[in-house]
Structures are given as structure tokens and as C-alpha cells.
Amino acid sequence: MSVVPASVKPKPAVAALDVPRGRSRWWDREAPLAYLFMVPGALLLILFMAYPFGLGIYLSLTDKMVGFADFDFIGLENYQYLLRDRVFHQTVVNTFVYGFVTVPFKLVLGLGLALVLNQRFRLSSAIRAGLLLPWIVPTAISSLAWLMLFDPVLSPISWVLREWGLITQNVNFLGDRVNAMASLCLANVWRGIPFFAISILAGLQAVPQELHEAAALDGASSWQRFRSVTLPTIRTIVVIATLFSIIWTFADFQLIYVLTKGGPANGTHVFGTYAYQTMGYSALGQAASVALSMFPFLAIFAALLLRQLRSED
Amino acid sequence: MTDPRVTRLLDEATKLRLSRRSILRRGTALGLSAAAVSPILAATGKAAPARAPFSIRQERSLNILQATYFVPEGQEAFTRLATDWGGQNNVSVTTDYVAWPDLQPRIAAAVEGGAGADVIEMWDTWPYLYQENMVPVQELAETVGERYGGYYEWVPLTAAVDGQWYSVPHGSSSVAYAYRISLLEEAGLADPKNNFPKTYEELFAVGKTLKEMGKPLGQALGQSLGDPPAFAYAYMWSYGAMEREEDGTTIAFNKPEFVEGMNTFIQAWGDAYDETGLSWDDGANNRAFLSDQISATINGSSIYLAAQGAAEGASTLDYEVQVDPADIWHAAYPAGPAGQFCQLGSRSHAAMSYSANQEAAVEFLDHFYQEDVFIPWLEAQKGYLIPMAPGYAENEMYTGDPTLAPYPAVSSYARNKGYAGPADQKAAEASARYIVVNAFAQAVQNGDAQAAIEQAASQLERVYGG
Amino acid sequence: MVGENTLSNRMLKLWVPLALYAAFLLFPFAWMLIVSLKPDELLLDTRLNPFAIVNPTLANYRRLIFESPFPRWILNTLVVTLGATVISLACSILIGYALGRFRFRGGNTIGVLIFLLYLVPPTLLFIPLSQIVSNFGLYNQYAALILTYPTFLIPFASWLLMGYFRTISRELEDAALVDGATRIQAMWRVVLPLALPGVLSAAIFCFTLGWNEFLYALVFMGSGEMKTVPVGVVSDFIRADVHFWGLLMAAGIAGSVPVAIAYAFLVDNYVSGLTAGATKG
């Protein structure tokens, strides 16, 4: 581990890099073994992903319609169409709002939950599993629960607020662009917190306790200990979890599909729902171009976050 | 198939795995009529051209995919009749039901993958989308139409592809205004059963009083494929606009009379409607109606039937329902300056051309549309599907409950999506993009009718134009 | 725990935040429970307190378990998800280990490639994938999902595991190598046990992602008895514009509580087992 302050550095361990590396048995050398380890996963991915992936990119350059055998290569026309498509512009904006609002919340709240759950307490296993439920309930069904919670008439949230005298009319959760986006973000954060919490909780198990104790004895505050001992250990995990959360959020489909289908008046379309809507009239080439338009954005985030990971090595 | 040109084309089509378009092109080049080419198209089902679909098999099987029925008894009836037929004809039959919006991804994967259900229920505009993957059933569809006294006009316009049948229609669920008799009476309407407003202006006027009473009109304007377009298309037509002219490419949406109508609607939205309707999907107005929040809404008969069910359930609970089914009545759409309209499209059944069981599929369809099978199946659905032809329109299931009479009556003033063009792929695109619906949603959100209509018109232009 | 373990400190650091989290995370779930215990007629009645369960009934659960194919859907989902999880985890442990702990040429490139594969969303992929599924003759068989789910599980799990493997200090492994262990032994006996929390959490995520998957399950396997829980529930308990809320929510609960209980054991194992174990290391 790299970024531990000098005062709490453990006694130097075995000089790590002097281990003999040039052993003769090939399976003890890193590179051949590494390639060997890749084989099963790679086979599966190549068999099932390489073709669809390549085809997906190719289709985005064609006017392919579902169910029609003939189609033409049209170059970047689909993408040019999107550049002039107001709904698509709105989709891009919506996706960024959706992603940038929810991911930080999920990260911070998930990290907080992980730290809370990492303590010893009674009934801890039941409580830990219970708090995982938002992630376990099939989204197809939990989205329907949110549909009820956001219902203009039946919403129990509105009922409570009315009982408390905070509002006189039911909240219009999904019928207004801003409210609808906020409601979707709320449901998305709800669903996403456990993922961060559990992945970080698992990472916390590798935090060396003796460092923590040594730092505490040195009079480090809990915030200092968190920054200098805990955070370096879980940083990789946090970065990776954030990365995947961004991807999932950008490509989110089911929650929005159930709650608004991108409405009202396209106010909540994201890439996933817009691409799916395009499939509704069979325009596969166009749908592919919508879906793949995410690619550069996600690639940029990925590059930024991956650089974070590298700098650690 | 005695014509040597036909034999030759069939041979070529099979060997070269010609696409549909190529076969048609080749057929024209050989001087063949469309009728002569159609059996070749049938025999060379595109997605699985190498297979010989009509070869003899010992074990025949048939998988049928439909939308989940609203009336569960209808679904049971269908499963039974299909398996019975299978038993008699030595075909092992399986039936599947999925929520109707989920049919499309199933079909898309099936036609692209070349594997899936053998018979699939199609909704309007889909025959245009999947025509290359459906077995032509011209003769069967025509026979069925004649059997029941000739299809109503809206049926071939929404289930056939430019007059060619690739699927056999079976009617549609339909829409009308469901309303509360007592509330409309309270709002000053005498004899609401026979006196529902005949024009939108009248409706909005009553709606204003109703909203003052705390029971506004309800209308879904969210992005949902059922109730929102059921209102939006009808209102557009009633105020003199259409998606396009008959030529198929000229947009006829931005009409001054429609702008005026939209302004009227914007006013009414605030005065007479429940404004959360912007978020409503197909189910939300059912909930609002059944929980006594709104006085009237456009819907299928599901509200009424659910109220009946709730009243039955309530009787076992020592509990009184909020909305008594006896207080619910239905009425036809109001009219606008340009007339009375509603949007309607027929559902149909297609035998899929990738299937190795096309023969069995067509045989089954032939059997299914026989009077002693088809009519009892409709009856099991209690008239939920309105008739596609006059031959059985007088059946007890449509006339028995006067409350439901407006549902089959929509036939007489229905238009298809994409009017005045056909319900084709472009119409499917405009509908899937919610262009017409969102014109209304935009207008009531921003209060600017002209801008909302112009924006929608330019979107329509991109869809239909050139 | 380090620091003063006073009651107020404990309240501040544990119980108050825990209560807040529980309120937020469990509220929708509690709502599902309430709905599932009510007759649907009462649900739409605005005269009633929506949280009060008048006339509580288990009818929804009875119908779900005895009068619908729900148990079969559970079985299907279990088979598919377990199969996909085992395959994905096995592949991902190897890849994650290689990427996280070996230095070899092209390692980063391969890592990025695997990651890129993940960026194409299923809403697009299901069409070309359907061709592969039917070419292999897998349509409507368990294998269709067992083999396609890993396409989105492996990239994710490999990366996550790579992250976990990197948190294990390299010295331990090297010490084992000095002691004469082979690399595979070092991995199996030293690193993997230490990374167990990570492996278990990756397993949990794979299982859950598979358990929740909708689109592939709908198009590759949704026929006849072969539906998974999400597909079956949406197909059978929503009829046109009428939702059977009680049944839907009951299915949500019955389809997730057993999984949560299973997770309770897994999470408990790694949290308690390894806080003890880590101090030894």
C-alpha cells in the first residue's frame, strides 16, 4: 500500500520485488499464466460478444430496419440525423443530469452506509441484508412500486405530506419535467446505494486494522484515519464501482421505461429509453447510432477514472 | 405453378436466397403479376430461406404468441381451443402471452434471429414493419372477411399492407368516454346517460364546473401508446389537422384551425382537466377514476369491468366501493369543427415465415376463424374486442350491456394512424416518437399552441417528408 | 472498534445513521409489503389511510404460490442465475487475478478491451445476440441465458475483482513464493482467501444482476413454462391497463426476501470472519 503516512508505516515487509522471477516452469511465469487465465472468459466473450459488438457498430452506419433483409451502408448519416434531432439533444442533456445528479449521491451515501455497516452491532447480518433489498428486488417490480409511490392520486408520500399539513394538493411527481427528473433520480439513488455500500464494505475488509490502531494511538482524528488509512485501500474499488455506476446510469432503461417512458414531452428520455423507442419502429440502424452515441462520453469517463487507477501503481 | 417463369423464379429464389425485394424485382423483370409472385414469397420465407418449410415432418409443433388478455377467461379459452386443435391434428401446441408492449422486442429478436413463435398477434402498423417475415394469407383473410360480411373500412387500412394481407384480423380493443353519471348530473347535465356532450366545447364547459366541484376531467398525456394517442389523434382530426395529406408526404399538421383548437385545449387543460395528466400512462386514469378523483376519461371498457370486479370483491369484504359500477356510463367521442373522429387499428394474427411450421400455422389460423371457434372466443372476452365486420356485430356480447354500446360504435368514425396515408412504417415511427401526443403535452406545458404545433410539424416533416 | 465506545458516540456513529438509511431504503419495500397484504379494492380508496391494512389478507401470496406458475419461474430464474454466476465468477476470478496482479504485455489493453465490450447496451445487443442464440439452437433453453448473461457479468466482475485483488498486499503472495509455493498455490491458498469478501460481493452482484435481468430473459427464453420471475410477473400480472398490484408486490417480496436471507449469511461470513482474519495477516 502506498499512501500511508510515515508515522504509521508498518515494519518493512519482505522486499517485494526481489522475489526470483525467472523460474523455468512456464506456469510460474507471470505472462504465460496471465494469458492462460484469460482464455475461458475470452472464449465466451468472443463467441457471444465479438460478433454482436462489431455488428452493432456496423449497423449504426446503415439504414437497416428490423425484419427487412435489404439495407444500405449510409456512412455517418444516422449520426448526422441525431445532430439535428432536438429530442436527441434533450436526451443527451437529460442523461447528463441524470448521471451527474445520481452518481455522486449514490457514491457518498453508499460509502457512508458501508462505513456504518462496517461496525460491530447486534443483528448486524439481518440489517445488512435488509438494506440490500433495494438492489435485490427485481427492477421490473420495484419500478412498479415507485410508480405507485409517485402516483398523482394514490401516492402515500403525498398522503403523508398532506396529513402533516405541508401541502394541500398531491405532489405532481411525474407530470412536470423538473419533478419527473427529480423523482427518477430519487428512485435511481434508492436502487443504487446498496451496490456502492456492499462493494465498498467488502473493500473495507482489507483495511489493515493495525494501521488504524497505530494511527489512533498517534492521535489521528477519525477523519485523518479515514483519509490516510481507509481511503487508500478502498480507492481502487471506489473508482471501479463509480465507473460501473456511471455506465449503468447512462444506459438505464427499465426504471425510466416503467415510470415515464421518457415523458412528459421527452423531458426524461435518456440514451437507453430513446434507443429502445427507436426500435419501436424497427429502425435498428438508427437505434444503434443512438446507443453508440453514449460511447464517447463513457469512454472519456472511463479514461479519466482508469488514469486514477494507474497513478496508484 | 405451371408457368415456367414461376418455377424458375422459385428455383432462383431458393438457391440464391433472394430477399423479398429482390424476388419482387426479379418477378417484375420476368413479367409476372404480384399474385403469381406471392406463393414464391411464401415458399422462400426470408429469415430461414434454406429450410424447406413445407417438408413433411412426423412431429409437428406450433407456438403461438399473443398479448396478455385483459379478460382472463378469453386467455383460457384461447389456450383451450388451440390445444384442442393440436390434439385433433397431431400438432403439439403451446401458447404464450406477454404484456403487449413486450411483443415487439420478441418479434424483433425472432425475425432477426430466425427463431421464435410460429404465430404472432400483430397490432396496428406492425404488418408494415414485419411484412417480409409474415406468410402471405391473402386468400384466407379475404375468405374470413367475406364470412363475416366484409371488413369495416378501418380494418384493411390498419391490418393489411397496401391491400395485401399478411395477417388475418380479429378486431380491436376500443376506446370511448367513461364517465360518472351522478357527477355529470350534479354539474348540471340533464339525463347524463343520453346527454354526454356532443362537442369538445360543450365537454370543456361541463368540465369546468366539474373541476370546480373537485372532480375534473382526466386525460392521459404521458408517453404511453394507449390512451394518450387515443385522445390526441382524435382531437387533431376533429380540429381539421392531419399528420399528412393523401400523397403521403405533405404534412397537414400546422393548420390555423388546429392552432385555435389547441388554444382552446390549453385553456380547458387548466380549467377542466386534472393537470397531473401530463404524467399519466394507460393505467393512471383507471386509478384516478376508480379512486373517485375524476369524473370522465377516455378509456377501454377496463374501468367499468374493474369497477364491477371491485364491487364483487367488496361484497365479501363488508366494504363499499368508492365508485359504483352502476354509476358508470360510456359515450362516443365528442366532435370538433371538422367532425367526429377516433383512432382505431385492428389487431391480427400472422404466421411467421421463418417458422418451420408455416403449414400448421396457416391451418390453425384457418380453423381459428371458423364461426364455431372465433365467435365463442370473442364471447369469452365479453365483447372486449370490438367487431371487425358487421356479421357478428349484433351478437349479444355487444348489445347485451347498453353501458358498453359506444365501444363497438367507434367503427363508424375511426381513422388510422398516419391518416390520410396508410398505417405504415412512417406512421409507426410518428406514433412511437409520440409526436402528436407531445404536441399536446408541450402546448399545455408551455402555453404556446403555435410553437408546439410548429415543432411537431417539423418532426413530422422529418418522418414523412421525402 | 477504536475510540471511546460511549453510548452517545455509538448513537451518533451507528444507530442514528442506520435508522436514517433504513427509513429511506426500506420505505418503498415496506410499501410493497403493505400493498401485498391488502385486497386490491381497498388500494384505490382514497378515504382510507394508505398505510393502514384493513382486512389484511394473504390471498395474494396464496394465489401467487399455489395458483400461478410463480414457483416454476423461481426455479427457472434460480437455474439460469446460478449457472451464469458460476461461469462468470470462474472466468472473472481468473481474468481479474491476471489483470490485478500479473505484469504482462498487453495487460492494460486487454483490460480496456473487456471494459469497452461492456459499453454497448443490451437494448441494442439483443438483436444480433438473438441470431447467435438461434444459430446455436439455444432459443428458449436455460443455456440461452446461462451463456448470454456472462457477456455482461464477466466484464463487470473481472474489473471489480481486479480491484479487490489489488487491495491485497503483494508481499504476502511473494512470501509464499519464496517459501516454494507455485503461483497457482499462492493464488489459491493466500490471495483468494484474503480476497474472499471481494469474491463474495462480486458473486452477490452477479447473482442479483442475473436475477433482475429482463430483456434477454424476455426475448431469448420467455416461452411457455420457461419464464423468469421478472418476465413472468410483468406478463401475467399486468393486463392491458390494469395492474394487479397485490400480486405484483407479493411477487416482488417473495422473489427477493429469500435472496436477501441467503446474502445475510454470505455478508455476515465475510464481515465477521475477515475482520478477525485481517489482523493476523
Q: Is the residue at B67 inside a domain?
A: yes
pLDDT at B52: 42
- DSSP alpha helix (H) spans, chain A: 30-45, 51-59, 77-83, 86-117, 124-136, 139-149, 156-163, 177-204, 209-217, 222-225, 231-250, 254-259, 271-279, 284-312
Distance from the Cα of B42 to chain C's closest Cα (Å) equals 22
- B70 and B169, same domain (yes or no): yes
- Please write the tens of the pLDDT for every residue from C179-189: 888 888 888 88
Q: Looking at chain B from residue 398 to 457, which residues have their Cβ under 8 Å from any Cβ of chain A?
A: 425, 428-429, 431-434, 438, 441-442, 445, 455
Q: Is the residue at B159 inside a domain?
A: yes
Chain A contact present for B43, CB below 8 A: no
- C51 and C153, same domain (yes or no): no
Q: Is the residue at B408 inside a domain?
A: yes
Which residue carries 425510466 as its cell? A256
- Using the beta-carbon criterion (under 8 Å), do A174 and B46 form an inter-chain contact? no
Chain C partners within 8 Å of B313 (Cβ): 39-41
Chain C partners within 8 Å of B96 (Cβ): 222-224
- B249 and B364, same domain (yes or no): no
C46 band by pLDDT with thresholds 50, 70 and 90: confident
Which residue carries 428455383 as its cell? B11
CATH 1.10.3720.10 fits A89-312, yes or no: yes
Q: Residue B438 corresponds to which cell in the numbers above?
A: 407531445
- Using the beta-carbon criterion (under 8 Å), do B223 and A67 form an inter-chain contact? no
- Using the beta-carbon criterion (under 8 Å), do A137 and C21 form an inter-chain contact? no
Question: Rounded distance, CA A229 to CA C222, Å?
Answer: 49
- Domain closes at, from C12, C36, C57: C57
| C-beta neighbour count of B193 within 10 angstroms | 15
Number of domains in chain C: 2
Question: Rounded distance, CA B60 to CA B87, Å?
Answer: 11
| C-beta neighbour count of A83 within 10 angstroms | 10
- Using the beta-carbon criterion (under 8 Å), do A128 and C271 form an inter-chain contact? yes
- C95 and C164, same domain (yes or no): yes
First vs last C-alpha separation in chain A: 10
Longest dimension (CA), chain B: 77
- Using the beta-carbon criterion (under 8 Å), do C164 and A131 form an inter-chain contact? no
- Using the beta-carbon criterion (under 8 Å), do B98 and C126 form an inter-chain contact? no
Question: DSSP class of residue A282?
Answer: T
pLDDT, chain C, mean: 87
- B338 and B237, same domain (yes or no): yes
- B130 and B86, same domain (yes or no): yes
- C41 and C166, same domain (yes or no): no
Q: B397 is in which domain, residue-wise?
A: 60-173+345-413
Please provide residue B419's backbone torsions phi and psi, each rounded to the nearest 5 degrees. Answer: -55, 145
Between the alpha carbon of residue A34 and those of residues A192, C86, C185, the distances in Å are: 33, 20, 15
Question: Rounded distance, CA A142 to CA A126, Å?
Answer: 21
Task: Give SS3 for C201.
Answer: helix
DSSP H or E stretch at residue C79: helix C70-101
Question: DSSP class of residue A168?
Answer: S
- B98 and B8, same domain (yes or no): no
Question: Rounded distance, CA A202 to CA B133, Å?
Answer: 51
Nearest to B279 among A67, A174, A266 (CB): A174
pLDDT at B466: 66
- Closest by CA position to B157, among listed B119, B125, B122: B125
Looking from the CA of C31 toward its CB, the CA atoms found within 13 Å total 28
- C220 and C203, same domain (yes or no): yes
- B325 and B290, same domain (yes or no): yes
Question: DSSP class of residue B390?
Answer: G
Torsion on CA atoms B49, B51, B55, B59, rounded to nearest 10: -130
Chain B contact present for C134, CB below 8 A: yes
- B240 and B307, same domain (yes or no): yes
- Please write the tens of the pLDDT for every residue from C212-222: 999 999 999 98
pLDDT at B16: 53
- Using the beta-carbon criterion (under 8 Å), do B279 and A175 form an inter-chain contact? yes
Q: What is the CATH number of the domain that holds B338?
A: 3.40.190.10
| C-beta neighbour count of C109 within 10 angstroms | 9
Q: C268 is in which domain, residue-wise?
A: 64-280
Q: Number of residue pairs across B and C with CB atoms under 8 Å?
A: 117
Q: Residue C120 corresponds to which cell in the numbers above?
A: 454497448
Q: Is the residue at B135 inside a domain?
A: yes
Interface test with B, best of C35, C42, C44, C226 (most B CBs within 10 A): C44
Q: Is the residue at B453 inside a domain?
A: yes
Distance from the Cα of A86 to chain B's closest Cα (Å) equals 9
- Please write the tens of the pLDDT for every residue from C235-254: 999 988 889 999 999 999 99
- C52 and C105, same domain (yes or no): no
- DSSP alpha helix (H) spans, B241-354: 256-272, 284-290, 302-315
- B181 and B248, same domain (yes or no): yes
The low-confidence residues of chain A, meaning pLDDT below 70, are: 1-28, 310-313
Chain B partners within 8 Å of C42 (Cβ): 317, 319
- Please write the tens of the pLDDT for every residue from B254-307: 999 999 999 999 999 999 999 999 999 999 999 999 999 999 999 998 999 889
Question: Rounded distance, CA B21 to CA A88, Å?
Answer: 32
- B195 and B333, same domain (yes or no): yes
Beta strand B342-343 pairing with B414-415 = parallel
The amino acid at B263: N
Q: Which chains are adjacent to chain A, needing at least 3 Cβ pairs under 8 Å?
A: B, C
- Please write the tens of the pLDDT for every residue from B447-465: 999 999 999 999 999 999 8
Q: Residue B95 corresponds to which cell in the numbers above?
A: 401458447
Nearest to B111 among A66, A172, A263 (CB): A66
Q: Is the residue at B423 inside a domain?
A: no
Please provide residue B299's backbone torsions phi and psi, each rounded to the nearest 5 degrees. Answer: -165, 165
Q: Which residues are paired to B343 by β-bridges?
A: B415
pLDDT at B372: 96
Buried b (16+ CB within 10 A) or exposed e, A236-251: bbbbbbbbbbbbbbbb
- C206 and C131, same domain (yes or no): yes
Number of domains in chain B: 3
- B374 and B232, same domain (yes or no): no
- Please write the tens of the pLDDT for every residue from C190-209: 888 888 888 998 999 999 99
- B284 and B371, same domain (yes or no): no
Chain A partners within 8 Å of C167 (Cβ): 203, 206, 233-234, 236-237
Would you write out chain B's pLDDT as a tens digit for each of its 466 residues? 456 666 666 666 655 555 666 666 666 666 666 666 666 666 554 444 444 444 444 578 999 999 999 888 999 999 999 999 999 999 999 999 999 889 999 999 999 999 999 999 999 999 999 999 999 999 999 999 999 999 999 999 999 999 999 999 999 988 999 999 999 999 999 999 999 999 999 999 999 999 999 999 999 999 998 999 999 999 999 999 999 999 999 999 999 999 999 999 999 999 999 999 999 999 999 999 999 999 999 999 899 988 998 888 877 777 788 899 999 999 999 999 999 999 999 999 999 999 999 999 999 999 999 999 999 999 999 889 999 999 999 999 999 999 999 999 998 899 999 999 999 999 999 999 999 999 999 999 999 999 999 999 999 999 998 6
How large is the ipTM?
A: 0.89
- C123 and C204, same domain (yes or no): yes
Q: Residue C151 corresponds to which cell in the numbers above?
A: 457477456
Residue C70 Cα to chain centre, angstroms: 19
Buried b (16+ CB within 10 A) or exposed e, B15-33: eeebbbeebbebbeebebe
Cβ(C221)–Cβ(C228) below 8 Å:
yes
- B366 and B335, same domain (yes or no): no
Chain B contact present for C49, CB below 8 A: no
Nearest to B441 among A65, A70, A264 (CB): A264
Q: What is the CATH number of the domain that holds C117?
A: 1.10.3720.10
- C198 and C133, same domain (yes or no): yes
